[in-house]
Structure 1
Amino acid sequence: MSSVERTQLTYVFDAYCGWCYGFGPALHAFADANADRIDLRVVSGGLFTSLRALPVAAYPHVPAANTRITELTGVTFGPGYEQVLAEGTLVMDSTDAATGLAALRSRPGAHALDAAAAMQRAWYIDGRSLSDVQVYRDIAAGLGLDADAVAAAYGSGAARAQAEADFLEVRRLGVDGYPTLLLHTAHGADRLGGPVASADALTRALDQRLDAAA
């Protein structure tokens, strides 16, 4: 299949979104299974920005939501994260996280979905702040990217501007919940699956949409 014919998808996520963390393994398996026919972009939605960028204790629903996420998706939350959650003081700032994703995906050879997953592991397993430039250095090294270049990009106005551009695009697409996987066709962007969809279910939904559009 040529690049012109590849199906275009956009994944709207937030690094501080537990349901996105739960959806990650299924989405990765779906992306791997369909790698020969899809192009998947990853953009940040901006869940905790501006006045919503608050200490995690300001969101008391989180522990119960995490229990539900584990029940429905099978993902687990690490001891580092559980400790930070109990302390309650770490500020979740989605603009910083979106800037980090922009910095990572800007590097040659970067795979945005892998970068997004690494960011969520840093938070949901290790409890590391996604406002800390060292997190992006470590992620870059783990992904085989230039850590110095990623750190410089994180501190640049360009990455911050790209994060804001992500937020604007998400609003333009009409997305107000995460995770959201969008299939782009000649008729517009349609949601594919939901936060607890399996990889096989996503592939079946993709096949059905493509067959209907043929």
Structure 2
Amino acid sequence: MSSVERSRLTYAFDAYCGWCYGFGPALHEFAATNADRIELRVLSGGLFTGPRALPVAAYPHIPGANERIAQLTGVTFGDGYRAALADKTVVMDSTDAATGLVALRSQPGANALDAAAAMQRAWYIDGRSLSDAQVYRDLADELGLDADAVAAAYASPATRTAAEADFLQIRRLGVDSYPTLLLHTTHGTDRLGGPVSSADALTHALDQHLATAPAA
């Protein structure tokens, strides 16, 4: 592979996916380590949409899953998030969250992976609903983006349509669980690692795949 060719990868995630939150630090390290040879796009999968967009009380398994995520990945869950779980009324709506990701990542200079991580911190640390438009203004400021432009994008029907297109792309790729990291090759797609993979393991997996299947 020449110096100008980059491997194309897709990260299928959901902002309300605890395992994605746990996977985030390793993925960020992997992306930074391999920045000169990969192009990574971040797409939302739509974990809690339609009839599944319900208050957290509808998913009593979440606290137990969080304990396991913390144990296996080392991430921490914030007091604000624990308060939101205890309150039980916050609705997890992945379509709203996916719209927010599109609004952030579409701005000049935006980094989609950083935007995804900032959204997950807003929820898993601060317990802020990702259906709250003010959250995206605050995240825009945090990420050095134009808050007015992000807010306008979040409110735009076209942005919601783009978010729903993410869901369709993920389904077409055959992804049915999150997080999923895919490498696009000349013969299709290959999955790299899993939810508890380290950055080194992801890099090793990339090396192995590229040795046998050069990226498209």
In which range does the TM-score fall when normalised by the shorter chain?
A: over 0.9
Q: Describe the superposition over 1:114-163 as per-residue Cα deviations: whole angstroms up to 9, x where unpaired.
A: 00000000000000000001000000001110000000000001110110
What is the aligned partner in structure 2 of residue 178 from structure 1?
Answer: 178
Alignment of 1:152-167 (within 5 A): 152-167=152-167
Q: Secondary structure at the match of 1:40?
A: strand
What is the aligned partner in structure 2 of residue 35 from structure 1?
Answer: 35
User: Partners of 2:108 and 2:161 in 1: how far apart?
Assistant: 19
Gaps of 5+ in 1: none
Alignment of 1:37-116 (within 5 A): 37-116=37-116
Q: Secondary structure at the match of 1:117?
A: helix
User: Partners of 1:155 and 1:11 in 2: how far apart?
Assistant: 25
Q: How many residues align?
A: 212
User: Partners of 1:12 and 1:192 in 2: how far apart?
Assistant: 12
Quick one: percent identity of the two aligned structures? 78
**Letter of the 1:155 counterpart:** A
What is the aligned partner in structure 2 of residue 187 from structure 1?
Answer: 187
- Alpha-carbon RMSD across the aligned residues, in angstroms, is 0.5
User: Partners of 1:189 and 1:95 in 2: how far apart?
Assistant: 25
Gaps of 5+ in 2: none
**Letter of the 1:208 counterpart:** Q
What is the aligned partner in structure 1 of residue 7 from structure 2?
Answer: 7
What is the aligned partner in structure 2 of residue 22 from structure 1?
Answer: 22
Q: Secondary structure at the match of 1:9?
A: strand
User: Partners of 1:151 and 1:135 in 2: how far apart?
Assistant: 9
* 1:213 Cα offset (Å): 1.9
**Runs of 4+ residues over 2 Å off in structure 1:** none
* 1:78 Cα offset (Å): 0.1
Is 1:201 aligned to residue 192 of structure 2? Answer: no
TM-score by length of 1: 0.98
Q: Secondary structure at the match of 2:130?
A: coil
* 1:212 Cα offset (Å): 1.2
Q: Secondary structure at the match of 2:209?
A: helix
User: Partners of 1:104 and 1:83 in 2: how far apart?
Assistant: 26
* 1:39 Cα offset (Å): 0.2
Q: Secondary structure at the match of 2:42?
A: strand
TM-score by length of 2: 0.97
User: Partners of 2:179 and 2:191 in 1: how far apart?
Assistant: 10
User: Partners of 2:190 and 2:55 in 1: how far apart?
Assistant: 34
Alignment of 1:135-154 (within 5 A): 135-154=135-154
User: Partners of 2:203 and 2:62 in 1: how far apart?
Assistant: 30
User: Partners of 2:168 and 2:111 in 1: how far apart?
Assistant: 22
User: Partners of 2:159 and 2:28 in 1: how far apart?
Assistant: 25
* 1:175 Cα offset (Å): 0.3
User: Partners of 1:151 and 1:40 in 2: how far apart?
Assistant: 25
**Letter of the 2:34 counterpart:** N
* 1:80 Cα offset (Å): 0.2
